[in-house]
Amino acid sequence: MHDAVSSFTAVSSDQGNLQMERVPLNDIANQFGTPCYVYSKAAISHNFLAYQSALADKAHLICYAVKANSNIAVLQTLAELGAGFDIVSIGELERVLRAGGDPSKVVFSGVAKSASEMQRALELGIHCFNVESEAELELLNNTAANCARVAAVSLRVNPDVDAQTHPYISTGLKENKFGIDIDRAPQVYQRAAQMSHIKVVGVDCHIGSQLVDTAPFVAALERLLALVDRLGELGITLDHIDIGGGLGVCYNNEQPPTPENYMAAVLPLLQGRSEMLVLEPGRSIVANAGVMLTQVQYLKSNGEKNFAIVDAAMNDMIRPALYQAWMDIQPVVRSDVPAAVYDVVGPVCETGDFLAKERSLSISTGATLCLFSAGAYGFVMSSNYNSRPRAAELMVDDDQVHVIRQRETIEDLFSGEQLLPSKAG
Ligand code: LLP
């Protein structure tokens, strides 16, 4: 199925034995243990460069959405290719800095930025704040005044476009908490333009994630451009138009547009316009550049159902439990045992703890499984639920494997916790 991935396959199959770049996934599991996340440096680079070449001569800034995968080695890989970054917290900004990213290419999104986060971002001189409410605009103006800076601002507007994706990852409808109502935006821009420590530089929207069609992007951009023209009439000119992230990937049999298809749909609308185009892609850069490896601990049957109980759980990868996400799962080594239909479940004490349901797999106890498309919203959403140490993260570069995050230890689990003072003595 993954041969259908439109752009680049991080994982290839050699007679049913899976490898990433030039390294067999089974060797990685044996050497580094499971569960672990494994990313391909070549695939991450390829996916970023696909955007860059699709944008060709159009002035642009590709701000990788750090939330999709924030490991500093992933950020470093992208920073070295000239990426900008879309952040939603000061933690993400500090990661970008540690990875060698350029703060002047950072856009700061999010509905609830605090004054201290604003201050740090102002000191570092980020490209702009994507402001999501009038209250935030007031706080930003005051914060900038207090530290004698001027904040570059892009208003995130809500274009009221249906992204036709899962309701939890749809953000561009009026009923969602995100952005400023596009019909009210001209008033808010006029207010912003009068503020002493605000410089209006752009407009921004992000309508949702895992979009598999260009039509909602085009509809949102048309609405943004109508707003930009209206602002022009009011004497407010913008330097950039940010159309957010959201391009989908192939998990199963979806056929999302490539960055090239996406830009072919969008760029004609920008013909003759001087504003720089800003993008905030996350998933489409990292999802199919990564996998999660997990080992079968037990096979169990209750008469009606077969379960493959593996050593990764919903705390390691929550997407199936949270979004009913379908992610492909296959053994890393081909086996001749007869296939059976399994639910692949983890050790966490919840019925929602599953990675995959009703999959035909040829496996025995001890087999290593590869969960595909796990490079985005995988490790970053993991937790220590059930006091499970978080998985290791590895990066494959040709025939080399680098540990980019050590597996957590039991000691790590309670570092920072404290016992109450003892009563005795
Ligand atoms: N920009 C903003 C303002 C965002 O909120 C997001 C994602 C992005 C860019 C990047 O979108 P992408 O290109 O990755 O679709 N955890 C969910 C996805 C949540 C997306 C949140 N916002 C999942 O696993 O499907």
pLDDT one digit per residue (tens) for the chain, 425 residues: 444 334 467 999 999 999 999 999 999 999 999 999 999 999 999 999 999 999 989 999 999 999 999 999 999 999 999 999 999 999 999 999 999 999 999 999 999 999 999 999 999 999 999 999 999 999 999 999 999 999 999 999 999 888 777 776 667 667 677 889 999 999 999 999 999 999 999 999 999 999 999 999 999 999 999 999 999 999 999 999 999 999 999 999 999 999 999 999 999 999 999 999 999 999 999 999 999 999 999 999 998 999 999 999 999 999 999 999 999 999 999 999 999 999 999 999 999 999 999 999 999 999 999 999 999 999 999 999 999 999 999 999 999 999 999 999 999 999 999 999 988 76
For residues 202 and 128, is the Cβ–Cβ distance under 8 A? Answer: yes
What are the catalytic residues?
349
Distance CA 16, CA 9 (A): 15
- Dihedral sign (CA 128, 129, 135, 140): negative
C-alpha of residue 65 to centroid of ligand 1, in Å: 7
Ligand 1 pocket test target in 66, 92, 209, 242 with most atoms within 8 Å of CB: 209
Question: What SS3 state is found at 258?
Answer: coil
Q: Beta partners for 340?
A: 361
Fold entry, domain 109-281:
TIM Barrel (3.20.20)
Q: How far apart are CA 386 and CA 316, in angstroms?
A: 11
DSSP label at 178? Answer: -
Per the rule left: phi > 0, alpha: psi between -120 and 50, beta: everything else, 317 is beta
Task: Considering the chain, tell me which residue range(s) the CATH 2.40.37.10 domain(s) occupy.
Answer: 1-40+283-425
Residue 212, number of CB atoms within 10 A of its CB = 16
Are the beta carbons of 78 and 293 closer than 8 angstroms?
no
Which of 62, 67, 314 maximizes ligand 1 atoms within 8 Å of its Cβ, making it the mutation to test the pocket? Answer: 67
Q: Give the predicted TM-score (pTM) of the model.
A: 0.96
Residue where the block lists tokens 């007679």 = 15
Q: Are 346 and 353 in contact (CB under 8 A)?
A: yes
Q: Is 209 a pocket residue for ligand 1 (Cβ < 6 Å)?
A: yes
Provide the residue type at 214 as one letter: T
Nearest to 37 by CA among 251, 297, 316, 354: 316
Distance 246 CA to ligand 1 centre (A): 6
Element holding 153 (H helix, E strand): strand 151-158
pLDDT of residue 23: 97
Asked if residue 280 has its Cβ within 6 Å of ligand 1, the reply is yes
The domain covering 1-40+283-425 belongs, at the CATH homologous superfamily level, to Lyase, Ornithine Decarboxylase; Chain A, domain 1 (2.40.37.10)
Domain with CATH 3.20.20.10 in the chain: 109-281
Q: Is 308 helix (H, G, I), strand (E, B) or coil?
A: strand
Residue with the two structure tokens 């933690």: 91
Q: Which of helix, strand or coil describes residue 34? A: coil
Q: Which residue puts its alpha carbon closest to atom 6 of ligand 1?
A: 245
The pLDDT assigned to 4 comes to 37
Atom in ligand 1 nearest the alpha carbon of residue 245:
13
